[in-house]
């Protein structure tokens, strides 16, 4: 008989990035047991062949532990970089004039190539150009089809191929590069559950990626450009989930503007019923230290209090010295916050009004009834996962157990707040639904004999989008003995 792992004791999910420090099957299993609910594979580093063992290790772990496990493939997106210098490196001084042009000749203290024609087409006088993760700041004083003349506002050393950010204009460039298209096809072939789209600027970027994905994975928009904020609602409506990518967002915007934007993005995603991930530098010091700073602990706790669906580790788990400890710490912080009696009230600061549909009305009712009758869990049957998303949006006080006959759906739900997804056979009748819900609740330890649970489903069974049943049942002690899968 398969041994089923009980659900996590916390509701917020932990997403761990894999990399050189966490590329072996043994370490991936350690990260899962330490608290990782989902794994991020960053397509920016390494070639595609190096990613295959990661996909295989996660799927093997899934079979070993009997729990659907989520894989998010993160596309690199359009990386803007300056050209190369004759001496490999220069130093820019505050107040000097510096030119970026389309000449491929090696650069010097006065100029360098900018191999991105779309920037020349969109740039405006007065716009800022940020170099090397924002360490250097240039202000555009003049521009033409082939040159951009700037004044150095913040100087410093600048070396070959350093990154460039253009925060003040919307660039006429696709969110998907040729590399992204190749990586996307590869990730879908390997069975990725989520695709993360980097540097989203507008809703049209989402539409382009969705056409290529063709429903084979869920689509997540990374919010890391100021231009995305101005069209945030439209972008969130177009995607399946969002990430607060604070790295580049903090480069292109003043640091003090990032915390309120983080709350705005989380609130918007929650209100529209999309899972939201808070990411970047959450436990940054644990790249080298076995323990985090108190400020980092507070940062993670804030995201949990705000009701984020997931919190993410980047270099901490991918390339740091303490990957397992970083995941364990993230898990511990989240558990401590959710034990706080005030946590339940704080995650409801965001008002999530139900849409005027039967499914939304039942999801809201399930949360209310679970509290009124002290139910131990909400159990929903779903094909597409939409019922689970609606219930998770309400942030109920009890676990959400999702039973689905579609393995892809079970895996995609791994980024959803409070959800424990189970891949199982479908049911064909109301009586079968009730019996299976009871048995699976006992088997997966979401409830005990004598407990009440709330059931949500759609009749006729097996038809997506028909959630129309809400039922309260009490579990009997002999249900487990009769379980047949």
CATH of the domain at 40: 3.20.20.60
| Confidence grade of residue 479 (pLDDT, cut at 50, 70, 90) | low
Q: Token pair for residue 365? A: 């009712």
Q: Is residue 232 part of a domain?
A: yes
* 2 domain residue, yes or no: no
Computed on alpha carbons and rounded to an integer, the radius of gyration of the chain in Å comes to 24
- Which residue range(s) make up the domain with 233? 13-77+175-345
- In this prediction, residue 351 has a pLDDT band, given cuts at 50, 70 and 90, of confident
Q: Which residue has the tokens 């920037």?
A: 119
Residue in 30, 59, 81, 216 annotated catalytic: 81
Q: What values do phi and psi take at 22, rounded to 5?
A: -145, 45
The span from the CA of 285 to the CA of 156, in Å, is: 25
User: Is there a catalytic annotation at residue 271?
Assistant: no
How far apart are the C-alpha atoms of 208 and 174, rounded to whole Å? Answer: 9
Residues 319, 189 share a domain: yes
Asked whether residue 481 carries a pLDDT value surpassing 80, the answer given is: no
Both 236 and 334 in one domain: the answer is yes
Tell me what the mean pLDDT of segment 272-285 comes to.
96
State the catalytic residue, choosing from 10, 51, 162, 222. 222
Residues composing the chain: 485
2 a catalytic residue: no
Mean pLDDT of the region 417-444: 92
Mean pLDDT computed over 25-42: 98
Measured distance CA(246)–CA(255) in Å, rounded: 9
My answer on whether 383 and 460 are in the same domain is: yes
Residues 208, 304: one domain?
A: yes
Q: How far apart are CA 439 and CA 482, in angstroms?
A: 8
Query: Does 4 fall in a domain?
Result: no
- Number of domains observed in the structure of the chain: 3
- Alpha-carbon distance of 194 to 15, in angstroms, equals 12
Which is catalytic among the residues 11, 40, 246, 395? 40
The 10 Å CB-count burial string (b at 16+, else e) for 54-84 is bbebbeebbeebebbbbbbbbbbbbebebbb
Q: What would the pLDDT profile of 97-122 be if each residue is shown by its tens digit?
A: 999 999 999 999 999 999 999 999 99
Res 461: pLDDT: 75
Residue 1 confidence (pLDDT): 42
Q: What is the mean pLDDT of the chain?
A: 92
214 and 292 co-located in one domain: yes
Phi/psi of residue 165, each to 5°? -120, 140
pTM, full prediction: 0.91
Give the three-class secondary structure for 352. coil
pLDDT at 245 over 90: yes
Instruction: Work out whether strand 147-154 and strand 38-42 pair parallel, antiparallel, or are unpaired.
Output: unpaired
CA torsion, points 242, 185, 41, 418, in degrees to nearest 10? Answer: 40
Residue with tokens 């989380």: 266
Q: How far apart are the first and last CA of the chain?
A: 10
Identify the CATH number of the domain in which residue 106 sits: 2.40.33.10
Same domain, 150 and 237: no
Residues 6+ apart with CB under 8 A from 324: 27, 30, 31, 34
pLDDT for the residue 392: 95
Note the pLDDT of residue 480: 52
Which CATH number characterizes residue 437's domain? Answer: 3.40.1380.20
340 and 453, same domain (yes or no): no
Long-range contacts from 245-251, C-beta under 8 angstroms, 24+ separation: 245/198, 245/279, 245/280, 246/278, 246/279, 246/280, 246/281, 247/279, 247/280, 247/281, 247/314, 248/165, 248/199, 248/224, 249/223, 249/224, 249/225, 250/134, 250/280, 251/130, 251/133, 251/134, 251/165, 251/167
The DSSP 8-state label assigned to residue 241 in this structure reads E
Say whether pLDDT at 252 is over 90: no
- Which of 79-93, 356-370, 448-462 tops mean pLDDT? 79-93
Give the residue from 123, 138, 165 where a domain finishes: 165
Q: Say what the pLDDT of residue 51 is.
A: 98
384 is a domain residue: yes
Position 332 scores a pLDDT of: 98
Is pLDDT above 70 for 32?
A: yes
The total of other beta-carbon atoms located within 10 Å of residue 260's CB is 9
Domain end (from 142, 165, 188): 165
Instruction: Give the residue among 330, 340, 252, 334 at the shortest CA–CA distance from 284.
Output: 330
> Could you tell me the pLDDT band of residue 349, with boundaries at 50, 70 and 90?
confident
Active site residue 445: no
Shared domain check, 247 and 185 = yes
Top-confidence residue, 226 or 74: 74
Residue 485 within a domain: no
Residue 408: inside a domain: yes
Is there a single domain that holds both residue 99 and residue 196?
A: no
Q: Which residue has the higher pLDDT, 30 or 444?
A: 30
447 domain residue, yes or no? yes
Are the CB atoms for 309 and 392 separated by under 8 Å?
Answer: yes
Using the predicted structure, report yes or no on whether residue 266 has a pLDDT greater than 60: yes
Q: Which of 17, 149, 150, 280 is catalytic?
A: 280
Residue 376 sits in the same domain as residue 463: yes
Residue 465 lies in a domain: yes
> Directed axis angle between helix 358-372 and helix 386-393, to 10°?
50
How far is the CA of 278 from the CAs of 41, 217, 290, 341, 364, in angstroms? 16, 20, 22, 23, 25
184, 209: one domain: yes
pLDDT tens readout for residues 150-203: 999 999 999 999 999 998 888 888 889 999 999 999 999 999 999 999 999 999
Question: Considering 345, 379, 407, which residue would you say is the last residue of a domain?
Answer: 345
One domain, residues 340 and 216? yes
Asked if 382 is an active-site residue, the reply is no
Question: pLDDT at position 89, please?
Answer: 94
């Amino acid at each position: 008989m398969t041994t089923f792992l009980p659900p996590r004791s916390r509701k917020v999910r932990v997403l761990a990035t894999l990399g050189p420090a966490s590329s072996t099957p043994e370490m991936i299993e350690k990260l899962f047991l330490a608290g990782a609910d989902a794994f991020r594979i960053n397509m920016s580093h390494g070639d595609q062949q190096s990613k295959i063992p990661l996909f295989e290790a996660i799927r093997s772990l899934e079979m070993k532990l009997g729990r659907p496990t989520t894989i998010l493939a993160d596309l690199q997106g359009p990386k803007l970089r300056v050209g190369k210098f004759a001496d490999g490196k220069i130093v820019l001084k505050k107040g000097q004039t510096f030119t970026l042009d389309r000449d491929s000749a090696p650069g010097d203290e006065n100029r360098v190539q900018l191999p991105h024609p779309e920037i020349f087409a969109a740039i405006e006088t007065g716009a800022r150009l940020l170099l090397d993760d924002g360490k250097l700041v240039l202000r555009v004083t003049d521009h033409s089809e082939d040159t951009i003349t700037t004044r150095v506002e913040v100087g410093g050393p600048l070396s070959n191929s350093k990154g460039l950010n253009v925060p003040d204009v919307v660039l006429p460039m696709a969110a998907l590069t040729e590399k992204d298209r190749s990586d996307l096809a590869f990730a879908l072939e390997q069975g990725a559950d989520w695709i993360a789209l980097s540097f989203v600027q507008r809703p049209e970027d989402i539409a382009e990626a969705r056409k290529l994905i063709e429903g084979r994975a869920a689509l997540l928009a990374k919010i890391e450009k100021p231009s995305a904020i101005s069209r945030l609602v439209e972008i969130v409506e177009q995607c399946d989930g969002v990430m607060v990518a604070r790295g580049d967002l903090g480069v292109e915007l003043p640091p003090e503007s990032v915390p309120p934007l983080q709350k705005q993005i989380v609130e918007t995603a929650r209100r529209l019923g999309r899972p939201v991930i808070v990411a970047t530098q959450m436990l940054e010091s644990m790249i080298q230290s076995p323990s985090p700073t108190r400020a980092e602990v507070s940062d993670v706790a804030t995201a949990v209090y705000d009701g984020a669906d997931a919190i993410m580790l980047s270099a901490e788990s991918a390339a740091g010295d303490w990957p397992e400890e970083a995941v364990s710490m993230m898990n511990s912080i989240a558990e401590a916050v959710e034990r706080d009696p005030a946590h339940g009230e704080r995650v409801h600061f965001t008002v999530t009004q139900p849409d005027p549909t039967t499914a939304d009305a039942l999801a809201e009712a399930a949360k209310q009834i679970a509290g009124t009758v002290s139910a131990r869990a909400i159990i929903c049957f779903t094909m597409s996962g939409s019922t689970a998303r609606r219930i998770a949006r309400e942030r109920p006080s009890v676990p959400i157990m999702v039973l689905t006959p579609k393995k892809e759906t079970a895996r995609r739900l791994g980024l959803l707040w409070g959800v424990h997804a189970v891949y199982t056979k479908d049911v064909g009748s109301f009586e079968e639904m009730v019996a299976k819900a009871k048995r699976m609740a006992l088997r997966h330890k979401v409830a005990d004999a004598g407990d009440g649970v709330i059931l949500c489903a759609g009749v006729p069974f097996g038809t997506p989008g028909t959630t129309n049943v809400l039922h309260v049942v009490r579990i009997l002690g002999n249900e487990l003995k009769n379980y047949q899968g």
